[in-house]
Amino acid sequence: MANATEQKPAPRFVRADGPDKVTGSGRYVADMSLTGMLHAKFRYAGVAHATIDKIDTSAAETIPGVVSVLTAADVPDVIYSPVVPDRRLFAQDVVRFEGEIIAAVAATTPEIAQQAVDAIVFEYTERPVVDDLEAAMAPDAPLVHEDWESYAVTGDTPRDRNVATFSSIAKGDADAGMAEADMVVKGRYVADGCHAAPIEPRGVLAQWEGTKVTIWTSTQVPFDARNGVCETLGLASNHVRIIVPHLGGGFGGKCGFHFEAHIAALARDARRPVKLVFSREEEFIAPDRRRESMIVDLETGLRSDGTIVARRGWVAVENGAYTADAAFFPQLAAMHVAGPYKMDNVKIDASLVYTNRQPSGSVRAPTAPQACWACESHTDELARALDMDPVEFRKKNAIDTGDTGAVGQVYDEIGMQECIEAATSAIDYGKDLPENEAIGVAIGWWPSFPGPSGAFVRLDADGLGQIVTGAQECGTGAVMTLRQLAADELGMDPEDFQIIYQDTGVGPYDTGATGSQTLLNNGRAVVDAAQQIAEQLRVHAAEQLEAAAGDIVLVDGAAHVAGSPDRSIPIPALAEVAAEGEQLLGKGSGTPPAYPDIPGMNCVGDQGVAAWAAPQFSCHAVHVRLDPDTGVTRVLNVSCAHDSGTIINPIAAHGQVEGGVMMGIGQALTEGTQYSDDGRQLNAALLEYKLQTFADLPTITTAFIQTPTTEAGPRGAKGLAEAPNVPTAAAIANGIAKLVGQPVRKLPMTAERVWEASQ
| pLDDT tens digits along 423-477 | 999 999 999 999 999 999 999 999 999 999 999 999 999 999 999 999 999 988 8
| pLDDT tens digits along 445-457 | 999 999 999 999 9
Would you tell me how many other CB atoms lie within 10 Å of the CB of residue 413? 14
Task: Report CA torsion sign: 687, 688, 689, 691.
Answer: positive
Q: What is the average per-residue pLDDT within 519-542?
A: 96
pLDDT score, position 13: 66
Q: What residue type is 195 in one-letter code?
A: H
- CATH number (1.10.150.120, 3.30.365.10, 3.40.50.150, 1.20.1600.10) of 294-450+611-758 reads 3.30.365.10
- Residue 108 burial (10 A CB sphere; 0-12, 13-18, 19+): middle
The answer to whether 703 and 423 have CB atoms below 8 angstroms apart is yes
Would you tell me how many other CB atoms lie within 10 Å of the CB of residue 49? 26
H or E element that contains 271: none
pLDDT score, position 608: 72
More confident residue, 282 or 3: 282
Report the C-alpha gap between 626 and 222 in whole angstroms.
Answer: 44
| pLDDT tens digits along 695-728 | 999 999 999 999 878 889 999 999 999 999 999 9
The half-sphere exposure of 137 on its side-chain side, counting CA atoms within 13 A, is 18
Helix, strand, coil percentages for the chain (3-state, nearest 5)? 30, 30, 40
| Percentage of the chain exceeding pLDDT 70 | 98
pTM of the model: 0.96
Q: Is the model's pLDDT at 2 over the cut of 60?
A: no
Fold match flag (35-127+202-277 vs 453-588): no
pLDDT score, position 18: 86
Report the SS3 class of residue 229. Answer: helix
Q: Where are the domains of the chain?
A: 35-127+202-277, 294-450+611-758, 453-588
- CATH number (3.30.365.10, 3.40.190.10, 3.30.565.10, 3.30.465.10) of 453-588 reads 3.30.365.10
Report the DSSP pairing between strands 163-171 and 465-469.
unpaired
What is the DSSP secondary structure assignment for residue 509, as one 8-state letter?
P
Report the C-alpha gap between 721 and 642 in whole angstroms.
Answer: 11
Q: Which of 200-209, 568-577, 607-616 has the lowest mean pLDDT?
A: 607-616
Report the C-alpha gap between 18 and 480 in whole angstroms.
Answer: 10
- Encode 310-331 in three state secondary structure: EEEEEEEEEEECCCCCHHHHHH
Q: Is the model's pLDDT at 680 over the cut of 80?
A: yes
Would you tell me how many other CB atoms lie within 10 Å of the CB of residue 60? 22
Angle between helices 416-426 and 390-397 (to 10 degrees): 160
Q: Which of 169-173, 297-301, 632-636 has the lowest mean pLDDT?
A: 169-173
Q: Which are the contacts of 649, defined by CB distance < 8 A and separation ≥ 6? A: 10, 477, 480, 481, 484
Cα Rg, the chain, nearest whole Å: 27
Phi, psi of 125 (to 5 degrees): -115, 120
- Omega prior to 748 cis, within 30 of 0: yes
H or E element that contains 514: none
pLDDT class of 96 with cuts at 50, 70, 90: very high
Q: What residue type is 129 in one-letter code?
A: V
Q: What is the average per-residue pLDDT within 390-415?
A: 94
Q: What mean pLDDT value characterizes the chain? A: 95
Report the C-alpha gap between 486 and 621 in whole angstroms.
Answer: 36
* CATH code linked to domain 35-127+202-277: 3.90.1170.50
